[in-house]
Amino acid sequence: MTADAHALTHPRPTPASPERPGLLGWLSTVDHKRIGLMYLGTGLLFFLLGGLEALLIRLQLARPGATLLGPDIYNQIFTMHGTTMIFLGVMPLAAGFGNYLIPLMLGARDVAFPKLNALSYWVFLFAGLLMNSSFVFGGAPSTGWFAYAPLTERAFSPGTGVDFWILGVLLLGLSTTIGSINFIVTILQLRAPGMSLNRMPMFAWTMLVTSMIAVFALPSLTVAILLLLLDRQLGTHFYNVAQGGDALLWQHLFWFFGHPEVYILILPAMGMVSEIIPVFSRKPLFGYRVVAYSSVAIGFLGFTVWAHHMFSTGLPSAALLVFSADSFLIGVPTGVKVFSWLATMWRGRLRLTTAMLFAIGFIALFVIGGLGGVSLAVVPVDWQLTDTYYVVSHFHYVLFGGSVFAILGAAYYWFPKMTGRRLGERLGTLHFWLTFVGMNLVFMPMHILGLLGMPRRIYTYAAGKGWEGWNMVATIGAFVVALSMLVFVVNLIRSLRRPPTHEADPWDANTLEWTTASPPLAYNFAEIPTVRSARPYWDAKHPDLADWKARR
Amino acid sequence: MRRMSWLRRVMISLAGLALAGCAGAPSMLRPASSVSAREAWLFWVVLAMAAVVFVLVEGLIVLIVARDRRRGDEAGEPTQVHGHTRLEIIWTVVPLLLVILLFGLTIGTMRAVAAPEPREGDINVRVVGHRWWWQFDYPDYGFTTANELHIPLGSAAHLTLESADVIHSFWVPQLAGKTDLIPGAINSMWLSADAPGTYDGQCSEFCGIQHAGMRIHVIVESREDFEAWVSTQQAPPVEAATALAQQGEDMVLTGVCSSCHSVRGTSAEGKVGPDLTHLMSRSTMAGGMYPLNGAYLRRWLANTQEMKPGNLMVVRLAPDDMAAVLAYLTQLK
């Protein structure tokens, strides 16, 4: 056994953490693992808050003509639900896993800029609290997460809600930009010896692409909301049509960010799934390079499809066709990934742990979301279905069935590394099935509701349009999902109360983070290993079957 | 065999369930025009193609999990397959061909549903979106109405779409896909229908607090009925016949009502709310949320915010004025 392999297979025990004790230690930390955990904890709380908002939405829509929430409150709730889930839930959760795992996966001792990393977290936390404080300071924004001008102009939204939203999103953009630059530099500069880009764990690939997308997409959003802020506070007329502004300018600027944002939300999830599936299939990721490069392709193509959110705005046919074609194209690298995951599982030795169940659930549900997306790239179909519940269903299959399922799978998979304890598998299996059944109960009927003519963002609807039954089913499903999240929280608390077992490698996994202690030492690795393939730990454990010996 | 029939029964009852919700629904899958029929047809094609992919992928998942989970406890490692170039080419090229096919169908359908050249008998309507109601101007006939769009069967209606404030979207699924109404721009679309009837739709771009209360009724009627309706709308407003109605007329035409509402040929020329000239010829009110009759009108005038919270009409009529205003409005047939 080589020295490297010895280091890989014989992790050292945990010494005492050099961090300051107690709360001060957390407040002052610049350790990527602690910041990762803070991101994860905060993200989970905001995610649960967004979930409560979803329950209120579903209660209001369960029956026609309900009066539980007035239109004003309802509009605030759905705006904050979307904003929270995207900016304060899924993105921070992905950033949390990225923070915790990327240096460990790369064989690094920390991210490139630990202090910036802490800044990124604290700005995010402040922005989240600032935005949500609008509920008590004169009302939350009620213009939707895409905040279309000129509705967001002062003439039509005179309250302060939109201003809170602008400031919050500006700060979140700052936080994400800092975090993304940190990830990019870390991934490009701090890899272990021998770890070429094509030997990185797939999660590192997707975080690299995600961070690149964020850095290039966010300026467009920043400009858009700064112009809006100027309009609202200084009386400029960028979007103010009466004074010669342009209402559609907002949509172009916003969606130039907004569509890449979709890939910011889904690519890390794809990376997580690409880590989990090979481990529990006991095979390498099928077509590693194709999966990696398809992420890059998605990253580029993601910038060329923004106007497919604008098919009904009266753009000329030639423009519609260009954006339609690009939107179709983006389905190809996405499909490649799905088939690669299936091929990874094919004739593997499957272990259906909770993490694996969520990863498989991800594939099953993401495919539905992807197919829905392809149908919306068909311009005449989109003319009918855009801004209906069909779209709501489509992007929830991607964001909930996709991103959230992957994040939950990642939670089960990496929890032992972070805490030295496994999450309960029996509760986990229950959690998975409740979430799986519940999410389909919520979102499959929404496809039908869209086809039956129900627009999005309506606080009430009349009886007799055939919408009542499906809305009721969706509401029941929402409570099943809520129950599943309760099971998850119980599982988290119960597992954290158990004494740690400190298993370094509970899943017999492939990547470097499993070669060190659980939880890892402050400095991550006693010795930085040399890497010869994308599965360094596998290579160490299976010298005869080592990846670097394989033909491909 | 028995399993097949069980499966078939489930499929039939599922389809029945989905369609049961369909009766009365303003659904694109119950098309009532050539445009919607083309769009619905394309949707079914896309759905069929998606179903093939869906069955393939979900079927593979079920197959792999059912088969390979039993190997989970086996000793030794499975064959380490790192990739397969030919397979990877196949699952890149086949989806590419499928989306190229879809793109071709997209182009074909967009051409097929494009607006035809205006023909004899076609009508022009200027649609203006307001928070939260629809203004329908018939420039060729010289009148304006609200929330209910009448079009003659067998002819096309060419709509120009404008907005008075924020972005709205005009959508009547059974007749056509949606087109946005954007302030500062003029969009256009066209409508026709295969059969007479009332087709429901509503605003489908979020436009503020009463986005849900901005509904559309398109009434497709025979040419004779349409012409009759046009002459009703062209007629001058009915003059007050009773003293009470006269009193109401004075209040409406010179009071606060006239700052937002119009009655053609009078001093009431407001443009914020719907035209009242032939109010009672419409069957709905408040952006199509309620049936229009004396009882609802009374409730509305007593407190509009109770019926449509957040709407821009903040007037509450005193009980003393109610009888007179109602008497005048209800005779504006």
pLDDT for the residue B12: 56
Per-residue pLDDT of A106-120, as tens digits, reads: 999 999 999 999 999
Question: Position of tokens 């080589």?
Answer: A2
Say whether the ipTM exceeds 0.85. Answer: yes
A388-409 tens-digit pLDDT: 999 999 999 999 999 999 999 9
User: Where does the pLDDT of residue B324 fall: very low under 50, low under 70, confident under 90, or very high at 90 and above?
Assistant: very high
Chain-wide mean pLDDT for chain A?
A: 94
Give the distance, in angstroms, between the CA of residue A77 and the centroid of all CA atoms in the same chain: 21
Instruction: Please state the rounded mean pLDDT for residues B208-237.
Output: 97
Tokens 């954006």 belong to: A323
CB contact under 8 A, A314 and B50: no
Tokens of A357: 């169940």
- The answer, yes or no, to whether residue B17 has pLDDT greater than 80, is no
Would you place residue A136 in the very low, low, confident or very high pLDDT band (cuts 50, 70, 90)?
very high
CA distance A27 to B86: 53
Interface test with A, best of B34, B35, B74, B106 (most A CBs within 10 A): B106
As a whole number of angstroms, the distance between CA A110 and CA A237 comes to 46
Provide, as residue numbers in chain B, all residues whose Cβ is less than 8 Å from the Cβ of A549.
Answer: none
Structure tokens, A17: 């953490």
B230: pLDDT confidence band, cut at 50, 70 and 90?
very high
Report chain B residues whose CB lies below 8 A from the CB of A441. Answer: none
Does the structure show a pLDDT above 50 at A501? yes
Q: Residue B209 is nearest to which of A75, A461, A467, comparing CB atoms?
A: A75
* SS3 (DSSP) at B126: strand
Q: Reply yes or no on whether the pLDDT at B329 is more than 80.
A: yes
Q: Are A181 and A98 in contact (CB under 8 A)?
A: no
**By mean pLDDT, which of A179-193, A202-216, B1-15, B157-171 is the weakest?**
B1-15
How close A371 comes to chain B (CA, Å)? 6
Residue A552, pLDDT above cutoff 60: no
Q: Are B165 and A150 within 8 A, CB to CB?
A: yes
Average pLDDT score over residue span B57-84: 91
Residue B298 or residue A549, greater confidence:
B298
Task: Name which of A151, A384, A425, A440 to mutate to probe chain B: the one with the most chain B Cβ atoms within 10 A of its Cβ.
Answer: A384
Of the candidates B297, B254, B265, B266, the residue with the CA atom closest to the CA atom of residue B279: B297
Query: In chain A, whose CA is at the least distance from the CA of B311?
Result: A71
**Cβ separation of B206 and A466 shorter than 8 Å?**
no
pTM of the complete model: 0.94
Closest CA in chain A for residue B67: A347
A381: its two tokens: 């179909």
Q: Does the structure show a pLDDT above 90 at B70?
A: no
Nearest residue on chain A to B189, alpha-carbon basis: A314
- pLDDT interval class at A13 (50, 70, 90): very low
pLDDT band at A166; cut points 50, 70, 90: very high
CB pair distance less than 8 Å for B109 and A384: no
In this prediction, residue A14 has a pLDDT band, given cuts at 50, 70 and 90, of very low
Strand, helix or coil at A201?
coil
Could you please report the per-residue DSSP string of A416-435?
Answer: HHHHSSPPPHHHHHHHHHHH
A415's CB contacts (< 8 A; 6+ apart) are A421, A422, A423, A495
Chain A, chain B: beta-carbon pairs less than 8 Å apart: 298
Which residues, 6 or more positions from B302, have their beta carbon under 8 angstroms from its beta carbon?
Answer: B316, B317, B322
| CA distance to partner chain B, nearest, from residue A157 (Å) | 8
Beta carbons of A419 and A496 less than 8 angstroms apart: yes
Q: B184, A338: Cβ pair inside 8 Å?
A: no
Nearest to B173 among A281, A286, A453 (CB): A453
Residue of B nearest to A157 (CA): B208
Instruction: Check if the beta carbon of residue B39 is closer than 8 Å to that of residue A381.
Output: yes
For range B301-310, the mean pLDDT: 95
- Residue B165 has φ and ψ, to the nearest 5°, of -145, -85
Binning pLDDT at 50, 70 and 90, where does residue B73 land? confident
Q: Which amino acid is at A343?
A: A
Q: Which helix H or strand E contains B217, and what residues bound it? A: strand B215-221
How do residues A427-484 score in pLDDT, each as one tens digit? 999 999 999 999 999 999 999 999 999 999 999 999 999 999 999 999 999 999 999 9
Of B92, B182, B211, the CB nearest to A458: B211
* Dist. CA A99–CA A548, nearest whole Å: 28
pLDDT, mean of residues A293-305: 95
In angstroms, rounded to a whole number, what is the distance separating the alpha carbons of residues A410 and A269?
9
Closest Cα in chain B to A285: B82
Dist CA A365 CA A405 (whole Å): 9
**Chain A neighbors of B215, CB-CB under 8 A:** 462
N-to-C CA span, chain B:
65
Amino acid at B61: I
| Model pLDDT, residue A242 | 87
B250, burial (CB in 10 Å: exposed 0-12, middle 13-18, buried 19+)? middle
- Three-class secondary structure of residue A302 per DSSP: helix
Do the Cβ atoms of A286 and B84 come within 8 Å? yes
Q: Which pLDDT band, with edges at 50, 70 and 90, does A550 fall under?
A: confident
Q: Which of B64, B93, B111, B175 to mutate to test the interface with A (most CBs of A within 10 A)?
A: B64
pLDDT of A244 strictly over 60: yes
CB contact under 8 Å between A374 and B185, yes or no, is no
Q: How many other C-beta atoms lie within 10 A of the C-beta of residue A350?
A: 24
**A344: amino acid identity, one letter:** T
Residues 6+ apart with CB under 8 A from A232: A152, A153, A154, A162, A163, A166
For chain B, the average pLDDT equals 92
d(CA B323, nearest CA chain A) in Å: 29
Q: Which residue of chain B has the CA closest to A462?
A: B289
Distance from CA of B246 to the nearest CA of A (A): 36
pLDDT at B71 (0 to 100) = 82
Q: A491 vs chain B: nearest CA distance in angstroms? A: 25
